[in-house]
Amino acid sequence: MTQQDNPLLAPVADLIDYAQVQPGHIQPAIEALLQTARQAVEAAADPGLPASWEAIVQPLDTATEKLWRAWSVAGHLNSVVNTPALREAYNAMLPKVSEFSTWVGLHEGLYRQYRRLAAAPDFPAWPHVRRRIVELALRDFRLSGVELQGQARERYAQLSDRQAQVSQKFSENVLDSVDGWSLLVEDEAELDGLPQDVKDAARDAAAQDGKPGWKLSLKMPCYLPVMQYARNRALRERMYRAHGTIASEQGEPRWDNSPLIEELLALRAEEARLLGYASYAELRLQTRMARDAQQVAGFLRDLARRARPHAEKDLAELRAFAAGTLGLDPLMPWDMAFASERLREARYDYSDDEVKRYFTEPRVLSGLFEVIEGLFQVRLRDHEVSAWHPDVRGVQVQSPQGQVLGYLYLDLYARAGKQGGAWVDSERSRRVLGGSVQTPVVYLTCNFARPQGGKPALLTHDDVITLFHETGHALHALLSEVDEPGASAFASVEWDAIELPSQFMENFCWEWDVVNRLSQHVETGQPLPRALYEKLLAARNFQSGMQMLRQVEFSLFDILLHETAEPQAIAQVLALLDTVRQEVAVVFPPDWHRFPHAFSHLFAGGYGAGYYSYKWAEVLSADAYSAFEEAAQGAGGTLDADTGLRFRREILAVGGTRPAADSFKAFRGREPSIDALLRHSGLTEQAEAA
């Protein structure tokens, strides 16, 4: 088997020919690369080798990099163009890849080699980044069970393999449950209130099925507008119930995630016990900025305490408006988004749909690129790539002199067979080897509404924020100056700091100078009027108290769930969620609601015992952005190139070469403060008075 026969075996330095990748390529490529990687591990574990980076780490990185690149491609395709054949091919190899990863973590010979490296006489003179990689590797070996013996060692391997399979099945059930539900509406009057572009998309979806009418789905570009705009209360209730019971016992039994949640929690708790930790939360926090679960819970409860008065006021105002103006009394859960949007329209005299007309995808991307180029002194240029779907756009990131820094693949529209949500992943990391630079390749995936009727796609302001958020993640990889992949951002930055660049970028979406660059009315070509921008800005913290408590609710549920050492039945999981809501929430869904069953972040996305990271990193990101606000006081705006270059140098470029706390202090000159987050969220007395 050669590269010509199988695009997954292309040299890592080459771009993948995605258009040629077939499900049948996955198994032979991964099996061949697994064999090569195993041989490289055994070779690196030879105690006769010199205790040097060049003899042990470098050849190991080279061999395993080929495997992880091919597996990243397979996993990405499985997420964005899922088909039965692709799913089968991916799932056939998942246990083998998981087994290899576990085997490496348990490899005592390789562990001894890394200990030799750390004990070598010249180790203190090594480059800092290489010393950090070795030190992190030793930590990760211990957390991967390398010091276990006998039955405990065998059991750990079983646990690791099974967790990967259960998480994959969880995400498949969510995808299938969402794709498997639709509602055909034959009377247009039932869609009263829906924006025209949403109705056009629904009509197209029905036509593709060969049916008249309008096909509604649980994909976000359809579901959210229905909940916000449909005047038909019964339709909203039906959609809300379907969305609230995704992948649960109330739908197709084969897609019920209840047993998978129970099994995964049991597996995680057992893994923690085997490694000598009281809980999975304690285990996971060994690699985070936060010290322990108690500190996390205390941080979240402090946020809840600060946000609660604002949230209670938000809810009281919404209920009064819904009852007095809309006749919605009592206010039901499926009325919340609809009533909130009507209240926002009444209070600030604009609607999301009105604003959306100004944010066309081409203009938003053009403006986003301008912001990146100005802040970080790079160039972004369209680059023709072989892609997995016609929607995909390739972008080359260059230095001002034209040197290639990396490649970005943008895949922005929702479609069947594509996991919901928005995320960034990388195919390969930056690496310097033999004097040549291997540039990073990054995927940025969203689920926005597609273009309709020959017009460009329209983005809500929330969509724009999402795009900026994910771009921050992408820049963390694309603007890396780390020479070794083991210290790249996605490989070694603490999980509760990884959201710093992404949440930081969101702030620019509220700046007038930036909004001017992003907006161009779909019909007139005019930018967003200043008066409408002022309304948008005034509404920035609309219901921010309720939004803060919602995030605290998810985060506290997660950390308390994983702090429990005993197996949890699904009824106990739901009871815990209810207990958390009683403590921190002001809005309560119905008893039949099954939020955990589609909480992919926790059960399929790596955020187990880590969902708090969003709020934790938001403290860092808000404080980092305040440096740009301070720079703007003496200049003309927050797009300050000097501060941007400092952010690039101290945060983006260094990846995981040092602890995130050190990177933050290098940029800000001090420890982080919560004040900026509270101010940006409108949760201070001064903000309330204003």
Q: Which residues are catalytic?
A: 470
Q: What is the DSSP string of 365-388?
A: HHHHHHHHHHHH--EEEE-----S
Neighbouring CB atoms inside 10 A of 523's CB total 7
Contact of 329 with 307, CB cutoff 8 Å: no
- Measure the CA–CA gap between 241 and 229, rounded to whole angstroms: 17
Closest CA to 61 of 112, 110, 4, 124: 110
Backbone Cα Rg of the chain: 25
Closest CA to 605 of 474, 417, 453, 423: 423
Looking only at the bridges linking them, the beta strands covering 431-433 and 393-398 are unpaired
Residues with Cβ within 8 Å of residue 436, at least 6 apart in sequence: none
Q: What is the DSSP string of 530-574?
A: HHHHHHHHHTTTTTHHHHHHHHHHHHHHHHHHHH--S---HHHHH
The CA–CA distances, whole Å, from 296 to 188, 503, 555, 627, 656 equal: 49, 19, 9, 26, 22
Residues with Cβ within 8 Å of residue 552, at least 6 apart in sequence: 300, 301, 303, 304, 307, 584, 615
Q: What is the DSSP string of 625-649?
A: HHHHHHHHHTSS-S--HHHHHHHII
Closest CA to 244 of 316, 336, 312, 348: 336
Neighbouring CB atoms inside 10 A of 220's CB total 20
Give 590: exposed, middle or buried? Use CB within 10 Å, 0-12, 13-18, 19+.
Answer: exposed
The CA–CA distances, whole Å, from 128 to 73, 123, 124, 212, 658 equal: 31, 10, 9, 65, 9
- Measure the CA–CA gap between 282 and 298, rounded to whole angstroms: 15
Cis peptide preceding 330, ω within 30 of 0: yes
Edge-to-edge strand list for the sheet holding 404-413: 379-382, 393-398, 404-413, 441-448, 423-428
